Structure 1
């Protein structure tokens, strides 16, 4: 066995599962919860891999094209509440997105037993960082499994065509499907109430997973929780200019632009109530603005002037700038322009944040002030926590030796966004749209519940985009009631704002308790 936990064989690399066990406690809303923590890795393979061939070490890899030899050692941290029966205890699989992101953000910022403290909407001071008991850990409602994507965290990929085997929309979903099924078997949790909680690209993954777990493994879920949703990438406001004639992203991003202008006091008249203001903006986006965009060059000049003025009223952007943009401002342009007079950019993932523009004359920012403001705190806190508390990654026995914790696989250029939705005979060209996957899962299991959580100040996955997608799931109207939506005065990482974190915890915990199919607890009587 090599120091990195990777063995050798005639057919290529072989990882070995690793595991470290520790004990801890967390106090949530005044309730002390004792738990066992398991930090480790599980080994997964690409679709088409035949485990029977794993025992045939003499096979010639060149003659075995139908059985891929690439492997992924996926890192996870699981927390199990002590003193409860597994079948009576919900279990939630939690992951961030990217694609190619580790799950350090949800782990150390939202639901893990420890939380790193960061500044609310400004750059967090450099180390030492404060790590505290997480009063909003979801351990009061569910056991938790934080999963790092292949090639991130302490996980690694290896073997022939390893990037192709794991860096893609469908290969990634298959890896997570395999991981979850394997985890349920290893820890005896097949009969527990089961949930997914994905953030950002993790919502894309969740839509596929919900269907794949049913189709491939006959595993029904109790619920799917989505945070900062993107299910149809055609709706992204990042680069809609490369898809002319499809104007929907501009319409769906407008309410988030308006919320950002509201937050930074860039409107000519500051509305007294954000939610009422956004109701007005959403109506305008769906009606007058949508109609104007659909007319293209046939839009009369007078109407163009009127729409540009309304966009100024709602976004604070100069009327001349809006006209020059042909009424179509993408996310990067808005982030660069709103505070441009001060040579500042707003954040992309959380537009409450702002930072000095690298180039005040650029069309779009060169970095995300929100990411710059918080990333160092999260990575330092988890590196310290994993090695000193979980005792993983410090080179001791039972793990893969001292390793670098990778917050990202930096694989976006290698990523294949090709996706084969349910019912399609072959993969569909273009960016993924996984609305059919989530719809198929809800039809296959009509009792599956879905919870969407969104921040108003998210320009990466604008909140109205998620609302629009939920309203356009290809499901019978009778199933529309299975979807619930919660919104917060925060950004993409809703939990970065402490009040929003408390609301997120309460909504997620309540969702689990309403859907875990456990007998109602008897009411205490005097």
Structure 2
């Protein structure tokens, strides 16, 4: 399907369940003919990276249509462009992940001109009011920013009667996002501006898909200067601890060691030191032992079990009961069981208390329920009250429908078979000799383990001399920690300026 865009664009701007494949009719989704795209603009100013910047903030709707002109999806973008407009400035196109996650996290937590100030020390965000403060760590001093909420996320939605199969999937989503980017570039006269593309979590998967759409188009190629990946997941085999898939245990072991060190279960000079020990053990003796299966000699098994216990803080008895293969979910519950606490999936620094201490898995993720209310309040306050966006729709920080309907197939290979989009990044870099990649990882992130990102980007076909890796003392959303938000901002400024 060729996607056409009509109406206004912001001028400055896991899974499939058995269910009918029709867009959700919640009473708030208008008929296609009723759509009246809106654009709201505000002139604002702030200090970013030590520079006073006047800028135009624009939140607006882009309508995507089918070949016959029927509106199918309304995409909301929020852009921040320095005044006066300078076409030589870089443009950074940004989204979050999920799939189904709105751009609230990176916009109100890391790179937008305002941010929500939640606790930096892994405590929960409590109750409102949540402070919405100036964000000197925004990248507006080095780039114009365009935050994109893909279909089904944020305020973006499918029109009544639109088939979710057209938009909810690896390739479908990437085509829609790429088309929005092309239109924004065209409407804002930025074809020859330096361009950066990136996101967080599934947003890194989306980046691989979108760059393939932008740079792989023979007749409408959009060259990029850089890809910015935050909490990377490209090779999905590494997050599937299904029986027989030993790689999932190998790549999560360094995260377990880092978390155990943070909570005082393992002694080491630093998190960097224990992570490196765990990397070497994981890819060496541990991987060898797992691959030997039931042929593993008892003496070798005992030696591996002892070292695994030292690195993870788990007892040898527990490791033996788990057959040396501890899933992340079990680890969250077991590491601090003696203290009556669980640890977070998105950020293992966070701890929570379950209904009881006897379970195998935690009741919930304390690193998610510890931050979500503050971010939801912040994006609604900023978009509606400050920028003037008018809608009766709720903001989907984590929308249900995209994940429920998502098509994970890629070239005949479904996610369950073996989904790996890293080769698309390699292809883009080989075909664009100036395309560079920045990868940011938190030590305490189990959702997208840092060793998994290193592994997937170290495969053949990916130019290693154009990769930049940086690490942070927090988890999946490292910017919730004040020190790491500043560090991430400085690292990205350096990356963008080095073009």
Please give the TM-score of this superposition, normalised by the length of structure 1.
Answer: 0.86
- Structure 1: any 5+ residue segments left out of the alignment? 55-68, 394-400, 421-425, 516-526
C-alpha displacement at 1:374, in angstroms? 0.5
Kindly provide the CA deviation profile for residues 453-473 of structure 1, in whole angstroms up to 9, marking residues without a partner as x.
Answer: 100000110111111111115
C-alpha displacement at 1:70, in angstroms? 6.7
Residue number in structure 2 paired with 1:413: 404
Q: What stretches of structure 1 move > 6 A for 4+ residues in a row?
A: none
Residue number in structure 2 paired with 1:452: 439
C-alpha displacement at 1:83, in angstroms? 2.0
Matched, 1:436 2:423: yes
Range moving further from structure 2, 376-385 or 274-283: 274-283
| CA shift in 2, pair 1:344/1:5, >3 Å | closer
Matched, 1:146 2:136: no
Rounded Cα–Cα distance in structure 1 between residues aligned with 2:182 and 2:216: 12
- Corresponding residue to 1:461 among 443, 448, 458: 448
Structure-to-structure mapping, 1:21-170, within 5 angstroms: 21-45=41-65, 49-50=66-67, 53-54=68-69, 71-86=72-87, 88-120=88-120, 121-170=122-171
Residue number in structure 2 paired with 1:505: 489
Kindly provide the CA deviation profile for residues 52-72 of structure 1, in whole angstroms up to 9, marking residues without a partner as x.
Answer: x32xxxxxxxxxxxxxx5711
C-alpha displacement at 1:265, in angstroms? 0.5
Q: Secondary structure at the residue paired with 1:289?
A: helix
Q: Secondary structure at the residue paired with 2:80?
A: strand
Kindly provide the CA deviation profile for residues 32-62 of structure 1, in whole angstroms up to 9, marking residues without a partner as x.
Answer: 11100000111225xxx42xx32xxxxxxxx
Rounded Cα–Cα distance in structure 2 between residues aligned with 1:496 and 1:473: 34
Rounded Cα–Cα distance in structure 1 between residues aligned with 2:35 and 2:322: 52
Residue number in structure 2 paired with 1:402: 392
Rounded Cα–Cα distance in structure 1 between residues aligned with 2:99 and 2:327: 21
Aligned residues: 469
Rounded Cα–Cα distance in structure 1 between residues aligned with 2:340 and 2:444: 20
Rounded Cα–Cα distance in structure 1 between residues aligned with 2:489 and 2:480: 13
Rounded Cα–Cα distance in structure 2 between residues aligned with 1:76 and 1:273: 41
- Corresponding residue to 1:372 among 369, 372, 397: 369
Rounded Cα–Cα distance in structure 1 between residues aligned with 2:404 and 2:51: 45
- Corresponding residue to 2:228 among 221, 225, 228: 225
Q: Secondary structure at the residue paired with 1:382?
A: helix
Q: Which has the larger Rg?
A: 1
C-alpha displacement at 1:251, in angstroms? 0.9
- Structure 2: any 5+ residue segments left out of the alignment? 1-6, 8-26
Rounded Cα–Cα distance in structure 2 between residues aligned with 1:4 and 1:365: 35
Residue number in structure 2 paired with 1:262: 261
Q: Secondary structure at the residue paired with 2:371?
A: helix
Rounded Cα–Cα distance in structure 2 between residues aligned with 1:472 and 1:281: 20
| CA shift in 2, pair 1:198/1:8, >3 Å | closer
C-alpha displacement at 1:444, in angstroms? 1.5
Residue number in structure 2 paired with 1:327: 324
Rounded Cα–Cα distance in structure 2 between residues aligned with 1:468 and 1:176: 27
C-alpha displacement at 1:402, in angstroms? 2.9
Q: Secondary structure at the residue paired with 1:251?
A: helix
C-alpha displacement at 1:427, in angstroms? 5.0
CA contact (8 A) 1:91 1:145 kept: yes
Rounded Cα–Cα distance in structure 1 between residues aligned with 2:165 and 2:32: 21
Q: Secondary structure at the residue paired with 1:471?
A: coil
Range moving further from structure 2, 144-153 or 451-460: 144-153
C-alpha displacement at 1:492, in angstroms? 0.5
Matched, 1:483 2:467: yes
CA contact (8 A) 2:408 2:414 kept: no
Rounded Cα–Cα distance in structure 1 between residues aligned with 2:355 and 2:222: 49
Rounded Cα–Cα distance in structure 2 between residues aligned with 1:44 and 1:225: 26
Q: Secondary structure at the residue paired with 2:370?
A: helix
